[in-house]
Chains A and B, each alone.
Chain A
């Protein structure tokens, strides 16, 4: 240390002061920095720009409003205003006088209010005192009573005076108004014209950046009443799971997405855009208003964080957007966020957690495609997914398989189903990336042999009840196309049509001749499917023997020569024994395992390996196989897949982006990829088979599965099906099971096969619009078990006779179907018919005349004078079938119920085509016709009923 300082000083004081000055300034700067850092938030800039956009929009609206104002009229009104002002001015003295009078009256009135108020309170007080005194028999009770009467009188007098004054006040006000009448009226008319503009101008004024705006948003002062502030919704019905407790969800997304719930900003860039489809989502009057459902409930992510773009866990939809965000917002992978936002295109995943009790979610296009594909590929069979348990096994039962296909076919098929039928839904287990080494292929071949032996041995005997007697292939082909097979099956010869319908419930019909062993089986199956398999969903089309033979001839003629030539390698007994020893040695030493093997005969060994292999590959999950009843499905449960921690997904050594959706998608496209680079023993290889699905299918399924999250939405927040909806949901389970929607459209949804009837939709299966209101429940119930042709009178139709098949429904299922429609239309079970039709005087004659004049009998059968070739249903059977109130509705406007129907509209806009009957009264006419149908109707559900 230098010694230049004063005595007793270690430092130079000047220097110390300088340091202090520097530090003080630095400290001040830091303090300012702290405030600025706290004050400058990214969302404020967003809101400022939002204000700018709003201003521009209002300016545009003002311009539009001004254009609407008729300047001529405005000028005229303004002139009128001047004139009336003059008239009013001439009454100036009267007005002044009246106003002065009014002022005095108001003063008196105020005074009287005070006097009356005091009197009133005194009455109450003395009244109480008297009451006490009276009860206690006090000596002053009488005095108090007298006093009370005085006070009451005072109060009554005051009230009376007040009433007089009030009347006077009203009178004077009316007088003044009448003096000014001309001016006020004209002003009102002007306001009517320019009101909209003035409102907009007011709104614009509110957005002005003036000193008050600046002051309110100044740092430190902005705690009081800022205009730029965090916006939020707090949801009582939906909670965030904070593990130790559930807290109400708070979403602040609208802090930046400022116009998300406001119409008119659809064309803006994000975040200023309006939410699409406000009627469904976000809109205050929509089904899911923002105030009630928030944002992250559906979108996922962290809605309460508004620090910056990243904190909300936004996820880019693709690499291009990722790059854009990285540049614009410094985007990075969200850290420490349990559920990130769904990417664009995956939003519908958010529907699943609340709408988990229905087959399909109304208006959910992507998620419904996902659900449809889950159904198609049968994911639910191997993986438990809550809400899917009621679905039947997606594969056919193998309990009688030996009578249907040959063992050779079976093995070749199992080895590579797509080589037989490229549309096969059965996935491929073998010859995959993780088991295509020669060693593994040999083992797999042995396993497939053993599976075949096992399944065929377990297979029960079956003898077809019908004999194939030869048929016409051409006719068969036509039948397959027309009768309705394509609602459930694709057909190889109708590739274009099959693609249009995209049916998946039944197998795609290609190469059937190489698959089905005997034509007898085929004929029997077609005539009565339940004969072969009791619980089949394949319905009977009530085919004649000839028709069945024709179809059989056609189907059996379709062969897959290449596939037929395949010879499946036989069982390798050494490998079989080796595999068995491996199984036995799971818990025992090899010697014990070998000894156990030695005790088994050759046949028993094959059976054992077959049994174990069926278990290993999970065949039993999709197919009914004897010996595997009640065994849990093979795959892991997917109910909470969307919440599974990312670290629990095995990415192996694959270069797949580390996110849930990318993993699921990659997994669906190639389930065995995770084994790449893993040196695994044969028994531990991944077994999820290859479905060869398209990227679109995989991404749709991904969306449906991503929505399977574990957050429990409180009961009050979940979509609660009401009584009707519950019945509908139950019925829809039956509908999807039997694939009614493969043919029928229900209130505008589904109806796959209608794609083939674009030219004339009336030739397709009937659309079930408001079906529950249309038909009586007992008729419907009868019809489902006793199908009869309703439309076969139609010549055009008869040429391509698609027909309603007879399903093998249980009583319960039939009831559920009937109830479904009835509750969907919110109808009672029956609409009662009067025992006898009660006619009003002259009504019957009118009805008869109408039938004539409107020409009902030119199309409909069953009426007097009906043509020999009717083109519309027989009205004799309408009585038991149709509900009277529906008939009336139908008559009023058929197109409103069934767009494109051939039924003409006779009462358009409530005006009858026939102006004579009942003086053209439409209601009376329709009522009369309804009654007429009751009268002529037969008391039978169908013409066939005995």
Chain B
């Protein structure tokens, strides 16, 4: 069983599983968003977690002081995701029945004083958070490590936990992409959301039916492409950034077979069986064309879809194209991951001469 879980946990398998579960959750959010489901879920998950924790290798990695915040984040995220789905489901049922959302009920629209209702409770939160942080600092003391040595890097060398998603992306992308361009676009994209999202629905109340696309695409990026990668980076990447299953001992000398090939090498050498062209642009022409096609033709082609057309009409050309651009950039990550696993693809466009690898 543990072997099976170790095997399943490999990103090659766990990523599709996670993605599938994500869409299952979105599809059946009304089932997920019930208290009954939550209780059942807890009843099933708790014994499993207990069984996991009985494993020495698993408990070791879970209790590593650096990893405690990630444990907390996973629990919190699960709860908060469920909570929002629950609220959405409640409201959506009412909306379908023609009623107003719970937040719009007259008693919930009543106004209250800022003091003491807000200020006082904020003070509570301040105190409670301070207590929590102090107690945490006492129990999990900040570890003292060996003096930094330029010739002897720690292995695995891990980024702070909130950057582990980015570090995991380095497995699939050139540092320029994973370290500079993609994070930049993520920040810009997040800033741009309020300007792109013109849907006035859902203001001040939870709903899913009225904001299907927005919620699905955001949660996909957040849960599957960010949180999932942090989990992998934290718990499943050991020495040499090699993958280790949750029950696997971090053997320093574990070796995995990985040999990656560029798209140009695939096409010229493997398929066409001819030498690589000397001109580097010509050499990478397929990747370049593919990338341009992905970035230019896909947004245009998306207009042919019904969904695309509707959105275009609603939000206008500029907003629409920005949205589609951000969306396909986001989707480039899972695409690249899948390509890596399926055909060991290294780079779609490999121009190390220009330090440009995609």
Residues of chain A whose beta carbon lies under 8 Å from any beta carbon of chain B: 1, 3, 8-11, 13, 16, 19-20, 23-24, 26-27, 30-31, 33-34, 37, 240-244, 305, 307, 311, 335-338, 645, 647, 650-651
9 example contacts (A-B, Cβ-Cβ < 8 A) are as follows: A9-B117, A20-B120, A24-B127, A30-B135, A34-B134, A34-B138, A311-B144, A336-B154, A645-B152
CB-defined interface of B279-306 with A at 8 Å, one 1/0 digit per residue? 0000000000000000000000000000
Closest B-chain residue to A647, C-beta based? B252
Chain A nearest CB: distance from B31 CB in Å? 27
- Chain A residues with CB below 8 A from B123, complex form: 20
Chain B nearest CB: distance from A307 CB in Å? 8
Within 8 A of A (CB), among B239-255: 239, 252-253
- Asked whether B252 lies within 8 Å of A20 as measured between CB atoms, the reply is no
- Asked whether A3 lies within 8 Å of B107 as measured between CB atoms, the reply is yes
Contact of B113 with A by CB under 8 A: yes
- Asked whether A10 lies within 8 Å of B155 as measured between CB atoms, the reply is no
User: 3 closest pairs, A vs B, by CB?
Assistant: A10-B112, A336-B146, A243-B149
- Chain A residues with CB below 8 A from B138, complex form: 33-34, 37
Given contacts A31-B134, A242-B147, 20 further A-B contacts (CB under 8 A): A1-B107, A8-B112, A9-B112, A9-B117, A16-B121, A20-B124, A24-B127, A26-B127, A27-B127, A30-B130, A30-B134, A37-B138, A241-B147, A243-B150, A305-B144, A307-B144, A336-B143, A647-B239, A647-B252, A650-B253
- Asked whether B127 lies within 8 Å of A23 as measured between CB atoms, the reply is yes
Closest B-chain residue to A311, C-beta based? B144
Contact of B108 with A by CB under 8 A: yes
Residues of chain B whose beta carbon lies under 8 Å from any beta carbon of chain A: 107-108, 111-113, 116-117, 120-121, 123-124, 127-128, 130-131, 134-135, 138, 143-152, 154-155, 239, 252-253
Choose among B111, B148, B152 the residue with the greatest number of A CB atoms under 10 Å from its CB: B152
> Which of these, B108, B117, B128, contacts A23 with CB under 8 Å?
B128
Closest A-chain residue to B108, C-beta based? A1
- Chain A residues with CB below 8 A from B121, complex form: 11, 16
- Asked whether A13 lies within 8 Å of B127 as measured between CB atoms, the reply is no
- Chain A residues with CB below 8 A from B130, complex form: 27, 30
Complex Cα distance, B277 from A166, in Å, reads 111
A10-B117 contact, Cβ under 8 Å, with A19-B124, A647-B252: yes
Chain A nearest CB: distance from B37 CB in Å? 24
> Which of these, B117, B127, B135, B253, contacts A11 with CB under 8 Å?
B117
Q: Is the interface of B mostly helix, strand, loop or mixed?
A: loop
Complex Cα distance, B143 from A311, in Å, reads 11
- Chain B residues with CB below 8 A from A33, complex form: 134-135, 138
- Asked whether A23 lies within 8 Å of B147 as measured between CB atoms, the reply is no
A8-B113 contact, Cβ under 8 Å, with A1-B108, A647-B155: yes
- Asked whether A13 lies within 8 Å of B124 as measured between CB atoms, the reply is no
Cβ-Cβ contact count across A and B, 8 Å cutoff: 72
- Asked whether A27 lies within 8 Å of B149 as measured between CB atoms, the reply is no
Complex Cα distance, B114 from A10, in Å, reads 10
Complex Cα distance, B253 from A650, in Å, reads 8
A26-B112 contact, Cβ under 8 Å, with A11-B117, A33-B138, A645-B152: no
- Asked whether B107 lies within 8 Å of A8 as measured between CB atoms, the reply is no
- Asked whether A13 lies within 8 Å of B135 as measured between CB atoms, the reply is no
Complex Cα distance, B127 from A337, in Å, reads 38
- Chain B residues with CB below 8 A from A27, complex form: 127, 130-131
Chain B nearest CB: distance from A704 CB in Å? 24
- Chain A residues with CB below 8 A from B146, complex form: 336-338
Complex Cα distance, B112 from A24, in Å, reads 25
Complex Cα distance, B152 from A244, in Å, reads 13
Closest A-chain residue to B128, C-beta based? A23
Closest B-chain residue to A28, C-beta based? B131
- Asked whether A16 lies within 8 Å of B149 as measured between CB atoms, the reply is no
> Which of these, B144, B147, B239, contacts A243 with CB under 8 Å?
B147
- Asked whether B147 lies within 8 Å of A30 as measured between CB atoms, the reply is no
- Chain B residues with CB below 8 A from A26, complex form: 127, 131
- Chain B residues with CB below 8 A from A651, complex form: 253
- Chain B residues with CB below 8 A from A13, complex form: 116
Complex Cα distance, B139 from A252, in Å, reads 25
Complex Cα distance, B150 from A913, in Å, reads 76
Chain B nearest CB: distance from A943 CB in Å? 66
Closest B-chain residue to A38, C-beta based? B138
Chain B nearest CB: distance from A429 CB in Å? 26
Complex Cα distance, B127 from A19, in Å, reads 11
Complex Cα distance, B113 from A179, in Å, reads 94
Complex Cα distance, B151 from A157, in Å, reads 79
- Chain B residues with CB below 8 A from A241, complex form: 147
- Asked whether A244 lies within 8 Å of B148 as measured between CB atoms, the reply is yes
Chain A nearest CB: distance from B148 CB in Å? 6
- Chain B residues with CB below 8 A from A31, complex form: 134
Chain B nearest CB: distance from A326 CB in Å? 15
Chain A nearest CB: distance from B101 CB in Å? 15
